[in-house]
Amino acid sequence: MTDDEKELLKVTAEATLKPLGNLLERLFGGAVDQLGGEWEDRLRARRFLRRAKVYAKLKRQLDDAGIDPQEIPEKIWVPALQAASLEDDESLQDKWASLLAHAGDPRATSTRSDMFPKVLANLTAREAKILDLYFDVAARRVPEGAGSRDPHLISTLSSIDATMIGSVLEVRGFAWSDDTEKEKALGRFITEGLIHLQRKFNDSGATALAKKISTSEKLPTHLTSDMRRLFNEYYSLTLFGVHFVMACRPPIQSPGSAQ
């Protein structure tokens, strides 16, 4: 681009943005004339400060776990730091630090995936909390001495009746803002591959339906509710979901690294 073209672009941009000055300042915290300079520097500084907080959390987690870290693949740390630089929520910053700590842990295998940053970037702080609570419910079901951190076992024991999952989490102190939040959260978890919905055949429901049909002189015309009772619906954490939650929690200290 020539100097004349750059100058023309600058003049055009200023003319286009000038009428929007007050709106932009209200929305983005900067005046129009800051778009190319001070405003950009301010945004860059904010992102740096957020990353600096994640770096400090990351170092603390590695030190606490006694981990001598290895290099993290770019396909993990680049999207992770990009997303973390936009995050102000402390709980999510902790999770970004944990995700990076696991990615830099030479012992880690299943808690290192280039999909994890993409998934975490799509979760809100409340959704991440819901997922944590769900994981804790499943983990507490693991018999003592059976391997409390066995992902396969936790996934297997995570089944919760679809009609009960809301109340199960509420018992553990989580208050849904409304049914819409619950539906959106569970829908996002399914979309991200963190949980899945299973349908299991209900023998008693089938028996009740068969009895109703057999005792009627003609086939009942309204069987919608009866048909629903043929199957029970259950949510379960997927194996990927279990690994994801573990990757977003601080790594544990290895036996030989006690200080």
pLDDT of the chain along its 259 residues, tens only?
A: 677 766 766 667 666 666 766 666 666 555 555 555 566 677 788 899 999 999 999 999 999 999 989 899 999 999 999 999 999 999 999 999 999 999 999 988 777 899 999 999 999 999 999 999 999 999 999 987 766 679 999 999 999 988 888 888 888 888 888 989 999 999 999 999 999 998 776 555 445 555 555 656 555 555 555 555 557 889 999 999 999 999 999 998 866 554 4
SS3 of residue 232 by DSSP: strand
Q: Are 157 and 146 in contact (CB under 8 A)?
A: no
Report d(CA 160, CA 89) in Å as an integer: 29
**The tokens 């020539």 sit on which residue?**
2
What does pTM read for this prediction? 0.77
**Mode of pairing for the β-strands spanning 160-161 and 195-201:** unpaired
